Amino acid sequence: MRRLFVHFYIFIILAVIGLGWSLEHILREEEPSMPVWMPPFASLLSAQVPHMSHPNQLAEQLNETVIAMPLSAVAWPEPELQRLATGEAIALFNSRQQIYFYLLAQHQPEAELWRIGPIGQPVDKPTYWYHLLAFALLILLATLWVWPLARDLLKIERHLGKLPQQTQQPLRLPKRSMVSSLADSMNAMRKQIQHLLGLQRELTRAVSHDLRTPLTRMKFTLALLTEKKHQDALSADVIEMEQMVETLLDYAKLEGQEKLLQRSKVNMNELCVNLVDKLNSMPGPQVQLHMSGYISCLCDGHYIERALQNLIQNARVFANEKVDVWVIKKKNHVIMHVDDDGPGIAEDDHAYILQPFVRLDPSREKAHGGQGLGLTIVARIAEWHQADLSIHTSPLGGARFTFTLPA
């Protein structure tokens, strides 16, 4: 960042100096050409002034303005002072290309300077294009400075959009780039993130794989048991561990699946009716579906069905008697509410419950075979679809999970 500031300040200094020097040369007026009548007129003035005692006499004769002023009123160089001392008339142009003649009247008690003029029509040059030129040059210089910076920042933005991809090459920027240090830091961060993601996947797969070995031994021991009481207890543990392994493997497979989404126009009426019928055929509280009219949505139907299934199954686990599912179409969104009449969820636990392996009531959820990953999977699917998952208090008294999906 320090390098960027230094580069910016140097650019400002050089731009101001360069523009000032350039415009000074561009706007510098060319020396106007001397009219052919000027030398004879100057000679005439030099000859007549010594015979006049007052400027008004010369003004009446020439029909021009003549005023007297001290010699010190003009900062004359030494050569011009010598020319004035010899009685020579000196001609000067003003900014409007009018001519003034200066002579030294030495016959006065004190030598005074007479100025004749201005002579000639004033010439007004338009100056607005000078300002336009200054603005245009400043914009051009600023563009030349900003363009490489904007180009490199765009490269970084595109690179960040592809950060999760393992096959991505490190971002390479020229060493002279003002944000090369930012690119280096981003590459280091990318390596660390990918390393951590790899460790997470390897850990999940290793744990799931290693759990299969004791499961196999437990199944073998279960087959050798003869007492019904021990057999039932061990069978329940085996089923729970199998469900845990399958859930862990399922969660691990979700990593990197976002790019495999197959979006299409999905009939939400058909999807919800089939899902509710399937779940109502299983033991547990019955699910009531509420929806009206035809509702469709552009999404991946497989993952949306899975998210809704996880929400309904979670509601059935904690519901006392009733689970309601509402599917509503509002403008450009499809809103799905899943309500239950269970104990509900404290507001402080709303964000916490969406994290992996979180169970607010482990003893109760263990009895229903939960592993604390169902809502995490729903949150991941919502993230893939740029949807919103929120938790509120249900009108039934329990928890309400709201899945808002862009239509």
pLDDT digits (tens, 9 = 90+) for 282-327: 888 999 999 988 999 888 888 899 899 999 998 998 898 899 999 9
Domains with residue ranges and CATH for the chain: 2-28+126-160 (no CATH), 38-119 (no CATH), 180-253 (1.10.287), 261-406 (3.30.565.10)
State whether residue 115 is helix, strand or coil. strand
Query: Minimal CA–CA distance to 71: which of 82, 63, 60?
Result: 82
Phi, psi of 287 (to 5 degrees): -105, 130
**Residue 222 in this model has a pLDDT that exceeds 80:** no
Q: Is the omega angle on the peptide bond into residue 118 within 30 degrees of 0, that is, cis?
A: yes
Residue 313 CA, distance from chain mean position: 40
Three-state SS for 242?
helix
Instruction: Count Cβ atoms below 10 Å from residue 370 Cβ, excluding itself.
Output: 22
How confident is the model over 96-147, as pLDDT tens digits? 678 888 888 766 566 778 888 887 776 656 556 666 777 777 777 777 777 7
The answer to whether residues 156 and 182 touch, using CB atoms and an 8 Å cutoff, is yes
Sign (positive/negative) of CA torsion 276, 279, 280, 284? negative
| Residue 164 CB neighbour total at 10 angstroms | 14
SS3 content of the chain, % helix, strand, coil (to 5): 55, 15, 30
C-alpha–C-alpha distance, residues 174 and 152, integer Å: 9
Percentage of residues of the chain with pLDDT beyond 90 = 15
Question: What does pLDDT average to over the chain?
Answer: 77
From residue 136, alpha-carbon distances to 22, 63, 79, 146, 210 in Å are: 13, 47, 43, 15, 70
pLDDT confidence of residue 287: 93
Q: State the pTM of this model.
A: 0.49
Edge-to-edge, what's the strand order for the sheet holding 66-70?
66-70, 112-119, 99-105, 90-93
Would you call 373 exposed, middle or buried from its count of C-beta atoms within 10 A (0-12, 13-18, 19+)?
A: buried
Which residue would you say has higher pLDDT here, 332 or 243?
332
